[in-house]
Homo-oligomer: A and B are copies of this chain.
Amino acid sequence: MRATIIHGPRDIRLEQAPDPGLSGTGRDAIVRVVAACVCGSDLWPYRGVTETTEPRRIGHEFVGIVEQVGGHVSAVTPGDFVIAPFYDCDMTCANCVNGVSPSCLTSNWWGRDDRDGHFADGAQGEFVRVPTADGSLVVVPGPIDDAMVPHLLALSDVMGTGHHAAVSAGVGRGSTVAVVGDGAVGLCAVIAAKRLGATRIVMMSRHADRQALATRFGATDIVEQRGDEGVAAVKALFDGIGPDAVLECVGTAESMDQAIRSARPGGMVGYVGVPNGGAKLPIRTLFGSNVGVNGGVAPVRNYVEELLADVLDGSIEPGLVFDLELPLAEVADAYAAMDERRAIKVLLRP
């Protein structure tokens, strides 16, 4: 099959890779990828912010059709259309049951030797071996309209991740919210905040196309300023006090600082941006203002069913964050388009 390999900074290649096969554990499945995508976090090795020490498979978001299943798999069968979260998990261990499936005690990440001892494949390829099929995969009842695919694919990461920011910040009916980060996750965080009942949602963005999409998703206000001016502008929208919740969807030191200083006393920062570039938490500021910080690697698998219902009835449309679709053969262009901010998020079709 063909699969995407990252060799180093700005060196993304679609290459031949072995077709995956069932491992013999009996718990895995082979899925033919219908759609995958490029994540903001994929840009960090692409940009050389994190090092690529050797060529490796990349990609962790996909939807597809089940091709084969191991002998102990009962939840999915060949022909099912499935959503995979951006990690493999069993959904039966203590951490999965506690709602924290990225901390699954038995499973691991795509593109690595999983704990079952066999390679798990990256998602930007034609096929993926899913080590723990019963836990990881969620069947979407068919037939699947092609126009629904982007919305379903968003459930593999960005929609669930934006939702996690909102849940972690305690967003509920009547909450006031600011979102730091106008990428796909930040935009999905707007969807999530509105869905959970927030009455006012400020998007911090200086890009007209993203502002427009945020407004379509439910943002009530846009703030273009950053830093001290951004904090002041956000607080000014809430009587100088600030919003109840700030959703940090970037992961830099600057964005975390922006989030913490924008929240009202007693407010909460929900953060899902992978911490990068020395993000620090200023504990004395947090202590003095009673601003909490909660979040982390989003347990999107725990959220799929709840969000899927809203996708299927059309009440949320997270797939709108995909503003460019390319064939898998053009995966290098997909990375470049996101790197250069020509696209919010790129959908890939094998």
Chain B CB within 10 A, most for which of A239, A241, A271, A294: A294
Residues in B whose Cβ lies below 8 Å from that of A297: 287-288, 290
With both chains docked as a complex, state the minimum distance between the C-beta of A146 and any C-beta of chain B, in angstroms. Answer: 35
Indicate with 1 or 0, residue by residue over A62-103, a CB within 8 angstroms of chain B CB atoms: 000000000000000000000000000000001100111011
Q: Do the beta carbons of B94 and A266 come within 8 Å of each other?
A: no
* Bound form: Cα–Cα A65–B72 in Å: 73
Q: Is A207 at the interface (CB under 8 A from chain B)?
A: no
Residues in B whose Cβ lies below 8 Å from that of A292: 168, 292-295
* Bound form: Cα–Cα A290–B299 in Å: 9
Instruction: State how many copies of this chain the complex holds.
Output: 2
Q: Is A296 at the interface (CB under 8 A from chain B)?
A: yes
**Those of A273-288 within 8 Å (CB) of chain B:** 274-275, 279-281, 283-284, 286-288
One of B95, B279, B286 near A296 (C-beta < 8 A): B286
Residues in B whose Cβ lies below 8 Å from that of A290: 100, 102-103, 295-297, 299
Chain B CB within 10 A, most for which of A274, A288, A290, A299: A290
Range for the number of chain A residues in contact with chain B: 35 or more
Residues in B whose Cβ lies below 8 Å from that of A284: 275
Q: Is A291 at the interface (CB under 8 A from chain B)?
A: yes
A residues lining the B interface (CB < 8 Å): 94-95, 98-100, 102-103, 168, 239, 241, 256, 264-266, 268, 271, 274-275, 279-281, 283-284, 286-297, 299
Starting from the known contacts A103-B265, A168-B292, 8 additional A-B residue pairs (CB-CB under 8 Å) come to A94-B241, A95-B241, A100-B265, A103-B266, A281-B286, A287-B297, A290-B296, A291-B296
